[in-house]
Structure 1
Amino acid sequence: MKMKNIAVIVLAALCSCTSKSALNQLSSEEEKEGWELLFDGKTMDKFRGYCKDDLPSAWSVSEDGAIHLAGAGKQEAGTHNGGDIISKENYGNFELSLEWKISQGGNSGIFILATEVCAHDSVPGEPMWRQSPEMQVMDNINHSGVKDGTLHEAQLAGSLYDMIPANPQNTKPAGEWNQVKIVASNGTVEHWMNGEKVVEYHLWTDDWKDMVAKSKFADSPAFVNLAKEGHIGLQDHGDEVWYRNIKIRKLN
């Protein structure tokens, strides 16, 4: 009986180690399906700063294998040598999978089809959030805008920011990992949160133009006429946030 118990314990330990070693890695099946890692748990070589050649120093790799933003905690984007980051490669039709964890009261975002409008000479630049669809990342319980009622449903985690609320709203609380997937295929985009589809929308359609016109992006031409390809972006909103298991595969 004791030997049987020991065998069970050893098996459980092996399973635990196997699961842990799979963090930020691709399975053989995923490799066959065309997945690639955007983050291997060791380096951020596939990212750079928005409108920058290198990475802002506030972004780093944590000891437990996650991309970590050491936010200022005051929702002041870009402070403390921060700023948004983007994938070095562009993507059009794709499936993106990752996990995120937000600090208490925190805010961040995942962007797709991001293009850069960088400041030069006397011409001002445009931030990424002004021209790219965003899957919101947020502490839905402790964020100040939730507590004082200034945020609406389409500004909560999982939502197409300021346009379509996530439904169902199944986000885990601050300090816990959320698994998300974004699928973009010929203009149809799906947001998945913790195994459930929570948002669907259709780019470059009259419905899309109507939604933009009713949002805070109404005066942003780049948001109406989105590029067919763009970067994957992670937002610095001034708050501490973690991302891991970031993988992507191109779709036809």
Structure 2
Amino acid sequence: MRKIYSLLLAGSIVFAVSCQSGQKKAGEKSAQVEKTEAAPELNKLSAEETSNGWQLLFDGTTSTGWRGYNKTEFPKGWEIVDGTLHCIGTGTGEAGAENGGDIIYDKKFKNFDLKLDWKISKGGNSGIFYLAQEVKDWPIWKTAPEMQVLDNANHPDAQLGKDGNRQAGSLYDLIPAVPQNAKPFGEWNSIEIICFKGTVVYKQNGEKVLEFHLWTDDWKKMVAASKFPEYNKDWADVAKEGFIGFQDHGDDVWYRNVKIKNMD
């Protein structure tokens, strides 16, 4: 009898431990499910973003709001594909850019927080402009600061300039992005440009990479030592309000999730 009782007791203990283990595994699985969050929708604003004043500049399906720089229409060198603004590469670099041209959003901004994603092709080059002005017969870069978009590993511009100031995320030809955290060609990078009363901050893939201050003596000295005065002697006098634009450098580049918060 005592032997039977011992066997029953042992069986009860094994059963209890097994149940507890099963419950723990189920609980762990449940916790894992709770931690899994749905990926944010592309080219959409969350309810929080909308309530905080963010505006979508690209809806993912049309070119609404966008046109060619110094043009009234959306250029044929760009297309809307797979939820992106795609600049169609020509394989001839800057020479091929004449087939499409730079594009701008048809509204001027002054103080703002701009966010977007970009992806570049192998050996590709492009750029993000802001506070740009339209001047007849001029390219956009003669009037506006630029955040560089580049395949650092394969485009020679990454080795030119000074201290990496032509690499991705840099204030082109003026201030290098530090740290240099751009992802390789074919992968998406997220950026943020904050412009408020002359203070400009660049963020790339979640990290602040540079900061500078427009219209100051330091700004004017820095520009004077660059290549820009050769093309526009008044380049340092950046406008206080202007267009946001994307560069056609003759290479494939994709933009998406373009959104802005007006801070005026």
**Shorter-chain TM-score above 0.5:** yes
Calculate the TM-score normalised by the size of structure 1: 0.87
Q: CA–CA distance in 2 between the matches of 1:206 and 1:38?
A: 34
Q: In terms of mean alpha carbon deviation, does 152-161 or 178-187 score higher?
A: 152-161
| Matching of residues 144-155 of structure 1 within 5 Å | 144-146=156-158, 149-152=159-162, 153-155=164-166
- Asked if the contact 1:71–1:80 (Cα under 8 Å) also holds between the matched residues in 2, the reply is no
Confirm or deny that 1:130 pairs with 2:142: yes
CA distance in 1, matches of 2:115, 2:102: 19
Matched, 1:238 2:250: yes
CA distance in 2 between partners of 1:88 and 1:100 (Å): 20
Structure 1, unmatched stretches of 5+, are 119-124
* Match 1:51 to one of 70, 93, 96: 70
Q: 1:241 to 1:160 in 2, by over 3 A?
A: same
Residue aligning to 2:7? none
Measured in 1, the distance between the counterparts of 2:56 and 2:233 equals 32
Q: Please provide the CA RMSD for this pair.
A: 2.2
Aligned residues of 2:160 and 2:166 also touching (Cα < 8 A): no
Matches within 5 A, 1:32-71: 32-63=51-82, 65-71=83-89
Q: In 1, Cα distance between the equivalents of 2:153 and 2:199?
A: 30
SS in 2 for 1:129: helix
Q: Indicate yes or no: 2:133 matched with 1:115.
A: yes
Shift of 1:151: 4.6
User: What is the one-letter code of the residue matched to 1:43?
Assistant: T
Stretches of structure 2 that go unaligned for 5 or more consecutive residues are 1-21
Identify if the C-alpha distance between structure 1 residues 222 and 139 changes in structure 2 by more than 3 Å, giving closer, same or farther.
same
Question: 2: distance between equivalents of 1:77 and 1:44?
Answer: 24
C-alpha distance in 2 between matches for 1:132 and 1:78: 22
What is the distance in 2 between the residues matched to 1:151 and 1:239? 20
Is the 1:179–1:193 Cα contact (8 Å) retained in structure 2? yes
Number of residue pairs matched?
236
Q: Separation in 2 of the partners of 1:193 and 1:247?
A: 15
Deviation at 1:225, TM superposition (A): 1.2
Structure 1 counterpart SS, 2:93: coil
Which of 206, 219, 224 matches 1:208? Answer: 219
How far the C-alpha of 1:117 sits from its partner, in A, is: 0.6
CA positional deviation for 1:76: 2.0
Q: Which residues in structure 2 correspond to 1:173-192 (within 5 Å)?
A: 173-192=184-203
Q: In the alignment, what sits opposite 2:91?
A: 73
Matched, 1:167 2:178: yes
Question: Structure 2-normalised TM-score?
Answer: 0.83
In structure 2, distance between residues paired with 1:112 and 1:80? 21
User: In the alignment, what sits opposite 1:221?
Assistant: 233
SS at match of 2:235: helix
Equivalent residues of 1:113, 1:232 under 8 A apart: yes
The answer to whether the aligner puts 1:23 opposite 2:42 as a matched pair is yes
Identity over aligned residues, as a percent?
53
SS at match of 2:220: helix
Cα deviation digits, residues 170-190 of structure 1 (max 9, x gap): 000000000000000000000
CA distance in structure 2 between the aligned counterparts of 1:55 and 1:131, rounded to whole angstroms: 21
The counterpart of 2:110, out of the listed 92, 95, 99, is 92
Whole-angstrom distance in 2 between the partners of 1:79 and 1:186:
33
CA contact (8 A) 1:73 1:106 kept: no
Distance 1:132 1:77 in 2: 21
Q: Highest CA radius of gyration, 1 or 2?
A: 2
CA contact (8 A) 1:77 1:83 kept: no
